[in-house]
Amino acid sequence: IKCISTLQTFCRLKVKLQGLQKCGFFVWHTLAHFMKTNKIIQLFLSLSGLDFCDLTLDPNTASTQLILSENGEVKYVDEQQPYPDHPDRFKDIPQVLCRESLTGRHYWEVERTGWARVAVAYKTLSRKEGMICKFGYNYKSWCLFCTINGFTVWHNNESNNIPAPSPSSKRVGVYLDWPAGTLSFYSVSDTHTLTHLHTFNTTFTEPLYAGFKVFNSSLSLTSFSRCTIPAVCSL
């Protein structure tokens, strides 16, 4: 009886949390940075349906001018790397995709050392057709181009300039709500304050994959603590 009561409480809590999530993503970002030390918040985030992604780079997609590290870093190099041929590998553009297929509500962060493109793309994005493969230069990808002076969002070869917030930050947060058709980019400060940069509104028709492009720079994925829902006995 106690176990059933606990499960019913969890179900009611999940409904409340899903309603709260609609009030604002910023609440969830704030909670995320207490996850490592607070098991209750880990449970809340798990029940909410929002996935704080620990993404992994897909070496089969990486350009031969990129070096990938096990800690989630992608670095541009001048010397071509002896990677094996693969149909998923970007040929002319120093880009890489992640392995995870994204169709829900997801959040991830990256930190860059210089210019970079932070993107999502359909897996069907061309790999071998030159500049048309670049993130944001086609209808199959959406991206935030990060420079020293500010940001530019790109989709289908159309762009919009965004001034850099103050203080400047080299960390970017990405929030994807695939069912709602929204993709938002944020500048993330050292105190984990989010400044909204841009939101794309569209209808996604395929699973999305996080992607990155770097040139004479590097970029690192931020790792989040995994959320775990406690085991509950069967009814």
One domain for residues 122 and 212: yes
Mean pLDDT score of the chain: 81
Residue 118 domain flag = yes
One domain for residues 80 and 33: no
Contact 115, 215 (CB under 8 A): yes
Residue 130 domain flag = yes
Range of the domain at 13: 1-48
- pLDDT computed for residue 6 by the predictor: 42
Q: What is the mean pLDDT of residues 174-192?
A: 92
Residue 231 domain flag = no
- pLDDT computed for residue 132 by the predictor: 92
Other Cβ atoms less than 10 A from the Cβ of 208: the count is 24
Q: What span, in angstroms and rounded, lies between the C-alpha atoms of 115 and 95?
A: 13
Residues 90-145: pLDDT tens digits?
999 999 999 999 999 999 999 999 999 999 999 999 998 889 999 999 999 999 99
Residue 232 domain flag = no
- pLDDT computed for residue 191 by the predictor: 82
Residue 227 domain flag = no
Q: Quick check: 58 pLDDT over 70?
A: yes
Q: Quick check: 182 pLDDT over 80?
A: yes
- pLDDT computed for residue 163 by the predictor: 87
Q: What span, in angstroms and rounded, lies between the C-alpha atoms of 235 and 60?
A: 44
One domain for residues 88 and 32: no
For 184, the enclosing helix (H) or strand (E) is strand 182-188
Q: What span, in angstroms and rounded, lies between the C-alpha atoms of 143 and 161?
A: 12
Structural domains of the chain, count: 2
Residue 226 domain flag = no
One domain for residues 72 and 157: yes
Q: How far is CA 221 from CA 80, 184, 212, in A?
A: 23, 17, 10
Instruction: Specify the pairing of strand 50-52 against strand 105-112.
Output: parallel
One domain for residues 217 and 136: yes
